[in-house]
Chain A
Amino acid sequence: MDLSESQTLLMACLCARWCGTCGSYEAVFAACAAAYGARVQPLWVDIEDDADLIGGIDVENFPTLLLARDDALLFLGTVTPHAQTLSRLVASALAGDLKPAAADAESATLPRRLRAWAAARQRGQNIS
């Protein structure tokens, strides 16, 4: 099933301010998000600044990528910081080639928390 027309793919990068790799990866991430336009919802999340959002989820290394369709977690894991890797994963998710991933309860609900967090942040920006 091609998901690109019907649903926006949540595309979140879990990073930390002190991570040098994340710093250089941000441009790669932004470029990929721009390439896919409205088909993806990009989020850049500092797991330390927003520790409550991530909770006890183990982030093994950076960058850690999360892909989700609606509330269904498709991918959550550390990726190599290359544009091709990111683009290939996003394309697969949009094409429906990634199936919902098995996850613990906290990880499984992370997409919903991230969307709520992004919506709240958006509202805050609109107010200010």
Chain B
Amino acid sequence: MNTAHLTASPPASPPAGPTAAASGVCWAEMVTHRSYLVRFAQRKLRDPLLAEDAVHDVFEAVLSGRAVFAGRSALRSWLTAVLKHKIVDSVRRNAGTDSLDELGDPDGEGCRALALECPQPRPDQIAEQHQLLMLMLQRIEALPPGLRDAMRLRVLEEQSTEAVCRELGISEENLFVRIHRARKQLLS
């Protein structure tokens, strides 16, 4: 769940001095890197809200003292390193989910949320299939009687070859020839 819209912005006033001091980071200096960090996170996560969340987590970790800046590198480099970990955490958290927002972009990669779409045909597809079926049934009825009966019994009614041959009084070879001729005519 995204909470960045509620929490991403830094507090209106700097947090209590001791907390910031415990992290070894000057709050005012850290805030100057915020825009850079957000852009970095957006490039990695491709989601503005998740990016805001990740940067917020970085700031929170620093302010709470869970991440301590030892001064062995530039502050921006250190914040970026912390942010990378937060990005990894974010990716892991969201690995099994898809944003419903992606439904509006069906061409997007990894849009597994589309799987939520009902696999059954849509009403218009059902109507189209029904029309095609009716058309094909009409064409079968218009076939010469010998071919029509073979198609009706063997294909539409799915009777066994033996049963169809017995009913029509024809050989299996003849049935095969009839079915083949019928299909060719129906597809022409």
Residue numbers of A with Cβ under 8 A of B are 16, 18, 47-48, 51, 55-56, 58-62
Q: Is the CB of B181 within 8 A of A18?
A: no
A55 touches B144 (CB 8 A): yes
Top 5 closest pairs, chain A to chain B, by CB? A56-B144, A48-B184, A60-B174, A61-B173, A58-B146
B139 within 8 A of A: no
| Beyond known contacts A51-B185, A55-B144: 10 more, CB 8 A cutoff | A16-B180, A51-B188, A56-B144, A56-B145, A58-B178, A59-B177, A60-B170, A60-B173, A61-B174, A61-B177
Q: How far is the CA of A62 from the CA of B144 in the complex (A)?
A: 19
The number of A-B residue pairs with CB atoms under 8 Å apart is 34
Per the bound structure, the CA–CA distance linking A47 and B183 in Å amounts to 13
Q: Say yes or no: A18 contacts B147, CB within 8 Å.
A: no
List residues of chain A with CB within 8 A of the CB of B171. 60-61
Given the complex of chains A and B, what is the CA–CA distance between A60 and B177 in angstroms? Answer: 7
Q: CB-CB < 8 A to B170: which residues of A?
A: 58, 60
Task: Give Cα A96 to B171, complex, Å.
Answer: 32
Interface string of B27-63 (1 = CB under 8 A from A): 0000000000000000000000000000000000000
Instruction: For B174, list chain A residues within 8 Å (CB).
Output: 58, 60-61
A-chain residues with CB within 8 Å of residue B173 when the two chains form the complex: 60-61
The binding surface of chain B is classed by DSSP as helix
Within 8 A of A (CB), among B153-188: 170-171, 173-174, 177-178, 180-181, 184-185, 188
Q: How far is the CA of A116 from the CA of B144 in the complex (A)?
A: 22
- Nearest-neighbour CB distance to chain A for B144, whole angstroms, equals 3
Contacts of B144 in A (CB 8 A): 55-56
B contact set with A: CB distance below 8 Å? 144-147, 170-171, 173-174, 177-178, 180-181, 184-185, 188
CB distance from A85 to the nearest CB of B (A): 17
A92 vs B181: C-alpha distance in the bound complex, in angstroms?
A: 31
**Which residues of chain A are near B147, meaning CB under 8 Å?**
56
What's the minimum C-beta distance from A79 to chain B, rounded to whole angstroms? 13
Q: Which residue of A lies closest to B178 (CB)?
A: A58
29 contacts between A and B (CB under 8 A): A16-B177, A16-B180, A16-B181, A18-B180, A47-B181, A48-B181, A48-B184, A51-B181, A51-B184, A51-B188, A55-B144, A56-B144, A56-B145, A56-B146, A56-B147, A58-B146, A58-B170, A58-B174, A58-B178, A59-B177, A59-B181, A60-B170, A60-B171, A60-B173, A60-B174, A60-B177, A61-B174, A61-B177, A62-B177
